[in-house]
Structure 1
Amino acid sequence: MKVEGGEGRYAVLLAAKDSEYVEKVYGGYFNVFVEAFGEEGESWDLFRVIEGQFPEFDEIQNYSGFVVSGSPFDAFGNEHWILTLCSLLTTLNSMKKKVLGICFGHQVLCRALGGKVGRAWSGWDIGLRKVKLVKGISSPFTLLNDMPSLSIIECHQDEVWEVPYGAKVIAFSNKTNVEMFAIGNHILGIQGHPEYTKDILFNLIDRLLNNNSVKSDFAEDAKIALESAEADNKSWQKICSSFLKGK
């Protein structure tokens, strides 16, 4: 789905190639993001940054906000496209453009702005995770004050070790110290996947198992836990949309 027209114009900076499953069922990850965060009357564009597609500098001003996706790559890697993405994120921050980073996007946003990221000390986190929200959060995240905790789909083996100077940690879990961070009113990082459906994660677990990234007992436990619970996707999507659109 691509929503066109209206004043709001947003861009997805896609840091992953579409899996066969997501391409077949959803038409690609771009559509997953637009379905989760988009509304009628908006325009959403796609830049496949993993393939070296970036907005030109004179295009940036045309956008109200940017979403940086997850990725199988490490946010602390030095691939050319990752370094180019870091440079772009630094520019967007200096322009006070709204940037929402998800999973890898959360981590690379942290890195670009001076924080530290690396392998999670406690290993993979795959499945549902209850995230605890810090009380007394100021605007534009005041709606979080009515939500002491939310469940979110997670799939990562890297994490934020240290947030950038001036950033605030606004959510944490018993697995990850920085589940969310914010800078001012324009930067928001979320470690989990508010855009994912459970079937996307089920398929991803199978792919991780097939390429020996995780062990079979770990994958099976993650699936069993996932079958018996639901993520608070509607709340997460409201948080993301409210942030991007200043509602």
Structure 2
Amino acid sequence: MEKMRFAVLMCAEDSEYVKQVYGGYSGVFVKMLAEEGETWDVYKVARGEFPEDDDLVLYDGFVITGSCSDAHGNDKWVRDLLDLLNKLHSMNKKLLGICFGHQILGRALGGKVTRSPTGWDIGVRTVTFSPSWAFSLSSLDLPPGLSIIKCHRDEIRELPEKAEVIAWSEKTGIEMFKCGDHVMGIQGHPEYSKDILLHLIDRLIRGNFITDGDGIQARERAALDPDKEAWKRMCVNFLKGRL
């Protein structure tokens, strides 16, 4: 049986802490998603490092990570990523987008991404699955909603044509979407630990992205435990074509 091959499209720069403790954000994703016998490559697309067009056929799927950049921005690497995602979509490659990755996937397919009118969402929040997606997950024995780590201030405001919302929360209307059987976006961070979230809150305070008061509230909202193992099962089974 031919081994499966995947790529992580890194849209963020690693902090020194995450590099030292987790081997970088790409290492966090590979730890969550990789199974024995698979090959995983990493492309630092935020630095302009992209796979060659001739190599795209070699991959079974791609994971698009979070980022400090705006998915509604027009930096060169963002435009290049949009082009790549359209190519991969036309090839029916499995695409799993997380946070920024979820947003940029939505934009690439024709949706609209903006700042959230209700501001930052940082902490742990429960999302509710649509009945159709909950039915699809029945083979995995998952409940109709799961708690997930959140850290974003942008969101998809309009879905691409032919895409469907498969999860929402009281804060965000499009927590997850899918398009066909090969594209899925998740606004939250199934790969994060609470340790990474608390580190990120401190970075946001130091960078004056949020106030000390916002940080206190975010830490309070981080008290709930995310359903990490359930999210892992969902993401792995989607990416490997078992959903």
Contact 1:182 1:188 (8 Å CA) reproduced:
yes
Deviates more, 1:131-140 or 1:101-110: 131-140
Aligned to 2:225: 230
Cα distance between partner residues in 2 of 1:168 and 1:37: 24
**2:201 alignment partner AA:** I
Aligned to 2:184: 188
Aligned to 1:149: 145
Cα distance between partner residues in 2 of 1:176 and 1:138: 18
Aligned to 1:213: 209
Contact 2:134 2:144 (8 Å CA) reproduced:
no
Deviates more, 1:215-224 or 1:48-57: 215-224
Cα distance between partner residues in 1 of 2:111 and 2:140: 24
Q: What TM-score comes out, normalization by structure 1 length?
A: 0.94
Deviation at 1:148, TM superposition (A): 1.1
Cα distance between partner residues in 2 of 1:118 and 1:8: 35
**1:14 alignment partner AA:** M
Aligned to 1:240: 235
Equivalent position SS for 1:223:
helix
Is residue 38 of structure 2 the alignment partner of residue 42 of structure 1?
A: yes
Aligned to 1:168: 164
Q: What TM-score comes out, normalization by structure 2 length?
A: 0.96
Contact 2:10 2:64 (8 Å CA) reproduced:
yes
Aligned to 1:20: 16
Cα distance between partner residues in 2 of 1:13 and 1:140: 27
Deviation at 1:57, TM superposition (A): 0.6
Equivalent position SS for 1:45:
strand
Number of residue pairs matched?
A: 242
Deviation at 1:145, TM superposition (A): 8.1
**1:179 alignment partner AA:** E
Equivalent position SS for 2:80:
helix
Equivalent position SS for 2:58:
coil
**1:88 alignment partner AA:** L
Contact 1:106 1:189 (8 Å CA) reproduced:
yes
Q: Which runs of 5+ in 2 are unaligned?
A: none
Aligned to 1:11: 7
Cα distance between partner residues in 2 of 1:107 and 1:215: 25
Equivalence map 1:198-209=2 (5 Å)? 198-209=194-205
Equivalence map 1:60-71=2 (5 Å)? 60-71=56-67
Q: Which runs of 5+ in 1 are unaligned?
A: none
Please, what is the CA RMSD of the aligned residues? 1.6
**2:231 alignment partner AA:** W
Contact 1:171 1:180 (8 Å CA) reproduced:
yes
Aligned to 1:89: 85
Equivalent position SS for 2:131:
coil
The 1:68/1:218 distance shift into structure 2, 3 A limit, reads same
**2:47 alignment partner AA:** E
Equivalent position SS for 1:181:
strand
**1:211 alignment partner AA:** G
Cα distance between partner residues in 2 of 1:138 and 1:89: 27
Report the identity percentage: 51
Equivalent position SS for 1:131:
strand
CA deviation vs aligned residue, 1:42-78 (integer Å, no higher than 9, x gap): 1100000000000001100000000000000000000
**2:24 alignment partner AA:** G
